[in-house]
Amino acid sequence: MAIKVRRKYAWPESNKLVLMNFENSLSFARALDAADPLRSYRDRFHIPQVNGKDSYYFTGNSLGLQPKSVRGFIEEELKGWETLGVEGHFEGHTKPWAHYHKFSKEALAKIVGAKPLEVVSMNNLTVNLHLLMASFYQPTASRYKIICEAGAFPSDQYMFETQLKFHGLNPDEALIELTPRGGEHILRTEDILAEIKSTGDELALVLIGGVQYYTGQFFDLESITTVGHEVGALVGFDLAHAFGNLPLSLHDWGVDFATWCSYKYLNSGPGNVSGIFVNERFAHDDSLNRFAGWWGHNESERFQMKKGFKPMPGADGWQLSNVNVLSTAAHLASLEIFNEVGMEALRSKSLKLTGFMEFLVNQLSGEDQIFEIITPSNPEERGCQLSIFCHKNGKQLFDALTKDGVIADWREPNVIRVAPVPLYNTFEDVFHFARLLREHLEKM
């Protein structure tokens, strides 16, 4: 007999409370897929094969799948290089390379809720974190502390450590790492805001992940920004796990700066280009410290090769070098898809898809609590990802799932991360993940 449950979700496009009935059956999953307005987009991605059939791919939070259009975008630039050589920078080409960074601005701005002036694609995430710190972390004798979340991804941890040492500060004294309350896995918003307020005049910067990579918690970025500004601090975010995952409104929230990567939910390819957001209130502030490069210099004078850095307005002024065209071509291929679909439609499906997975996993765990989902149960506090905390046999279970074609992610010491991505994952994928989970649990 199929088991049903009623769950409540607030759909972002209407802010209405919608009731969703879930049922643990293959026919129900297929019915959801048949009614899915985004179902055709799966066919626009290459699905990795395992054991001669499509895998159950749930690691878009680590590396998104390849859009089939990527090859054509890259080959177009290869042909331009072949036939035009250096002239491809300026003429005879549909997308002149000298302006290549401009072709992604509109799409990036929509994804993060910004103005095109405030965003640009450039470098890699850790490079951008350091560049933004050079501008927005200016410690003084009295205001020098940074607030971040404990257990941040190592790129953030090492960046904080070395930046503070660069300024002659002791990370153990200057860095405040927020930890959950005893016996809890996620940070409470009220605790984050209370720490910001209590640090007060000593606080120079709040810089945390938009979505915590281990737990999948989506932080209240608007409230954090508001309270950070109230005590006189600047506020920035590492959006590696939020970009392309959830609708964002960085401009309206008043965020000072942010950076992200494009190879996770944005499906732009392994290690591909990062991007930054800098609020327009800094767009013409030439007094900000920065580590400059020639591509950030005044475009009208760039090729005069004169001394004296004059930054481009907005985020463009933080660029260092000219664009890596071949890798950015893959980035543009993915952005074309995001531009078609829009974040609201992706979020609408994501709420249902991740909610369905949550229902199935919780049902399997049962009263014995073999495992628990440590990602927030409130859909407004998470994106696609669910982090499944295994109380026993976690690695054994993960390895068994892998052999059966489930591509998920193991994080020490005991978490399986799964991210059903609305662009290419299906409700049937989710059902089979739960089915395989149940079968291997029964064997164990």
pTM for the predicted model, two decimal places:
0.94
Structure tokens at 178: 């927020």
What domains sit in the chain, N to C, each tagged with a CATH number?
Answer: 4-65+342-443 (3.90.1150.10), 72-341 (3.40.640.10)
The answer, yes or no, to whether residue 11 has pLDDT greater than 50, is no
pLDDT tens-digit series, residues 333-362: 999 999 999 999 999 999 999 999 999 999
Instruction: Express each pLDDT in 413-435 by its tens digit.
Output: 999 999 999 999 999 999 999 99
DSSP letter at 50 equals E
Q: pLDDT value at position 228?
A: 98
Q: Report the chain's mean pLDDT, rounded to a whole number.
A: 94
Instruction: Report the half-sphere exposure of 337 (CA within 13 A, side-chain side).
Output: 27
Query: In which residue are the tokens 């696609």 written?
Result: 384
pLDDT, position 8 = 47
pLDDT value at position 91?
A: 81
61, two tokens: 């939070």
Q: What is the rounded distance in angstroms from the CA atom of residue 63 to the CA atom of residue 334?
A: 13
